[in-house]
Chain A
């Protein structure tokens, strides 16, 4: 028998934690067998292992080779989590030109938003249990009271009269029971027939099992709903057979079935199939699980933060979650754990058995080419029915795209998107339309109106004074003559393959685009964030419009994720191209065609801050002249602050 040493690839390998090749870390050395039969056994085993390693090593050399490209002068660039999350390889790409970048407090403190909801400090994630009650909009949220990264999660709480001016309240729920000792996680509110509120939420138990718990206001006469009581019989739901103990979270708002029971759905997965479980209840304390699922889609992974609600086919108001009928479609939405993307699909709900089918299975929930609320940074979103103004309102968690070191240094992480109304697009019937709530207009201060023709290859500075807090509404028209020439000209190639992500960003010029605004720009445009339309000519000479945000040049900093975001946007005959942009320091929200396509981005300029922040209009098209008609408002801050302690 050959010496076992020669067949021990493990111990002969350099321990990666040791800098010296000759070092052998003791724990990598297998203990030498002392008995003959054990020696024989391990010898055979090692032959088997060695063979396995030889066979598998070939498969991994290609990846090892790719990794050797890293160099000391490489520029750190995150593989954007949502774009490249499936390749498993975090690559460095280098140009060595960027200087390493230390954030200073001046730059970091500028990043805080003026009119988006965020706590005074530390980490926030999912919106929880939004509702309107006794004159107040309530917002709860996943919060870490101890750090600027996820962990130690509790329910934060805030109230507002108008969804814009928020007042911080004390924490609503903390992990003080065995059934939520490891986390008071996401949940939703339901209004019962008598107007009282029940809250269902996920708890991570002392044994790390995900369970659903019931809570309700301790004092329903308190409009601030300060205190919450947890049901003594919690948990009300535990993972059912066949479902993983850690794959069972985020219960929805309940809806009434025709038989008078309440019904909820909870996302999960079975292997790689994303699913949504269905439970019926009369009292929110005991439940019957359906044998069938609300829906499932293979290869989409875990469904988090499932949302399920009706939308009117004909009216522009929102609908209570229990509404059903021929005039209504139902939306199934899920947050895809794999890709950090929120997807939705429109379909038909069958109340008799609690199932739902999509109108278009090829863009089913979670399919990568399917519909998203937002084509940028936007996750764990949740809607609620605002019975006050008969709207369905959407909240979305907007995380950071910077490094955790920066978050720790600045002391906070994450904001919420501006709440949006959600309705079915009655003109296309195939997508939802979202729009910032009307109340945001109360922040508008002075405005300037512009109307100008912008020739190909032009950049125009737009003087609006301070440019970090803006509301821009714009309309664009491509010059008709140019359009006709381009459409008629065979030499202008059909751009079948364009997508915002592959289009190379805003500096790649096409016949009919890109054109739009550069926000958060400095005077020399060394840092800027273009939000733009890119119109392509299809093979059949039909125009196809894309709406994009390019953050690749948004900052000189090298520890920030800087993707190009965006998507196709439907533009109907006779419609002008319209966009709205909300700029609020480190967040930019773009809405095209009245909210058919929305893009939220996080932006961290190092130079385009404070007085140096500018706004530009640009037209990078090669052939087309564009007429832009737009209004730019300065936006006031919302001055979000604690509810006066004396009044609590």
Chain B
């Protein structure tokens, strides 16, 4: 039984350490680990797979933020102009950045994936700035910036 325990421990440790080793090379280890561990594919993925998981997180977050933006039109009609910009920016993340990144990483030309991921962070920041200090989306913006930053670091490992 001790053998089983040892073997299982070693197996699980070596699965965990791919995520650990990868996340150590990103600007936010804790975020990286929690994102990757929250996906069942994480424990057996290679670096490309980990990157794809993170890009999926970007997609989920962008969708969530877009919903939030849509809801704000009614609640904060005075913010319409900024919300329009943000809507455009987050749609870019969903319709351009994410598909580009997924295709690029799947096909082994990660530099285009890096471009898409960097851009996700830029779009979030530009949206945020449109509120000139009074953004109702700040927490979501920060999340996107952080995830973008972590994902970029992982994608760079593929270059």
Q: A and B from one assembly?
A: yes
Determine whether A44 belongs to the interface, using a CB cutoff of 8 Å to chain B. yes
> With the chains together, A27 CA to B37 CA distance in Å?
9
A64 is an interface residue with CB less than 8 A from chain B: yes
A594 within 8 A of B: no
Residue of B9, B64, B115 near A41 (CB, 8 A) is B9
Q: Provide the bound-state CA to CA distance between A66 and B159, in Å.
A: 25
Q: Say whether A151 contacts B34, CB under 8 Å.
A: no
Mark out the residues of chain A between 189 and 214 whose CB falls within 8 Å of any chain B CB in the assembled complex. Answer: 204, 208, 210
Query: Which A residues lie within 8 Å of B100 (CB)?
Result: 147, 149-151, 404
Residue pair A63, B159 in contact (C-beta under 8 Å): no
A559 and B126 contact, CB distance less than 8 A: yes
A340 contacts chain B at the CB level, 8 A cutoff: yes
Cα(A64)–Cα(B27), bound, Å: 6
**Which residues of chain B from 119 to 153 have any CB-CB distance to chain A below 8 Å in the complex?**
119, 121-123, 125-126, 128-133, 135, 138-143, 145-149, 152-153
**Which of chain A's residues have a CB closer than 8 A to the CB of B20?**
52-53, 56
Q: Which residues of chain B have C-beta atoms less than 8 A from A37's C-beta?
A: 1, 4-5
Are B111 and A337 neighbours in the complex by a CB distance under 8 Å? yes
Query: Smallest CB–CB gap between A304 and chain B, Å?
Result: 8
Q: Which residue of B lies closest to A400 (CB)?
A: B115
How far is A76 from B109 in the complex, measured between Cα atoms in Å?
26
Kindly state whether residue B44 has any CB partner on chain A within 8 Å.
Answer: no
**A44 nearest CB neighbor, chain B only:** B9
Whether A408 pairs with B96 at a CB distance below 8 angstroms is: yes
Do residues A100 and B85 form an inter-chain contact, with CB atoms below 8 A?
Answer: yes
Q: How far is the CA of A76 from the CA of B123 in the complex (A)?
A: 9
| Contact for B108 among A99, A102, A148, A204, CB less than 8 A | A204
B62 CB to closest chain A CB, in angstroms?
11
Taking a contact as CB atoms under 8 Å apart, the answer to whether A403 and B122 are in contact is yes
Query: In the complex, what distance in Å separates the CA atom of A10 from the CA atom of B109?
Result: 32
Q: How far, in angstroms, from A78 to B81 measured CA to CA in the complex?
A: 24
Q: Which residue of A lies closest to B158 (CB)?
A: A246
Question: For A204, what are the chain B residues with a Cβ–Cβ distance below 8 Å?
Answer: 107-108
B1-24 at interface with A (beta carbon < 8 Å): 1, 4-5, 8-9, 12-13, 16-17, 20, 24
The dominant DSSP class at the B interface is helix
Interface residues on B, range: 35 or more
Closest A residue, CB atoms, query B13: A48
Tell me if A463 is interfacial: C-beta within 8 Å of chain B: no
476-525 of chain A: CB within 8 A of chain B = none
Chain B residues with Cβ under 8 A from A27's Cβ? 38-40
A507 to chain B minimum Cβ distance, whole angstroms, is 25
Q: If A88-B27, A337-B159 touch, does A76 touch B126 (CB 8 Å cutoff)? A: yes
B88 touches A149 (CB 8 A): no
Taken residue by residue from 46 to 73, chain B's Cβ proximity to chain A (1 for < 8 Å, 0 otherwise) reads as 0000000000010011001000000000
* Chain B min CB distance to A125 (Å): 8
Residue of B nearest to A85 (CB): B156
A41 to B11, CA, bound (A): 11
- A57 in the interface (beta carbon within 8 A): yes
Closest to B100 in A: A149
**Which A residues between 391 and 423 are near B, CB-CB below 8 angstroms?**
403-405, 407-409
User: What B residues does A41 contact at CB under 8 A?
Assistant: 4-5, 8-9
Bound together, the chains give a CA A208 to CA B20 distance in angstroms of: 27
| Contact flag A92-B125 (CB < 8 Å), given A49-B13, A100-B85, A302-B159 | yes
Contact, CB under 8 Å: A99 / B132: yes
Cβ contact within 8 Å between B118 and A78? yes
Stretch of A13-21, A362-370, A615-623 on the interface side: A13-21
Q: Is A59's beta carbon under 8 Å from chain B?
A: yes
By a CB distance below 8 angstroms, the chain B residues around A19 are 139-140
Apart from the given pairs A244-B108, A337-B110, A403-B122, 9 other A-B contacts in the complex at a CB distance below 8 Å: A13-B30, A28-B38, A45-B13, A53-B33, A73-B133, A85-B156, A152-B103, A246-B109, A405-B92
Query: B-side interface residues toward A, CB under 8 Å?
Result: 1, 4-5, 8-9, 12-13, 16-17, 20, 24-31, 33-35, 37-40, 57, 60-61, 64, 81-82, 84-85, 88-89, 92, 95-97, 99-100, 103-104, 106-112, 114-116, 118-119, 121-123, 125-126, 128-133, 135, 138-143, 145-149, 152-153, 156, 159
> Can you list 28 A-B pairs with a CB-CB distance of less than 8 A?
A13-B30, A16-B34, A16-B35, A17-B143, A19-B140, A27-B40, A49-B16, A52-B16, A52-B20, A53-B33, A56-B29, A57-B30, A60-B24, A67-B28, A73-B132, A76-B122, A88-B152, A89-B149, A150-B112, A151-B99, A152-B103, A204-B108, A301-B159, A340-B111, A404-B96, A404-B115, A405-B96, A405-B123
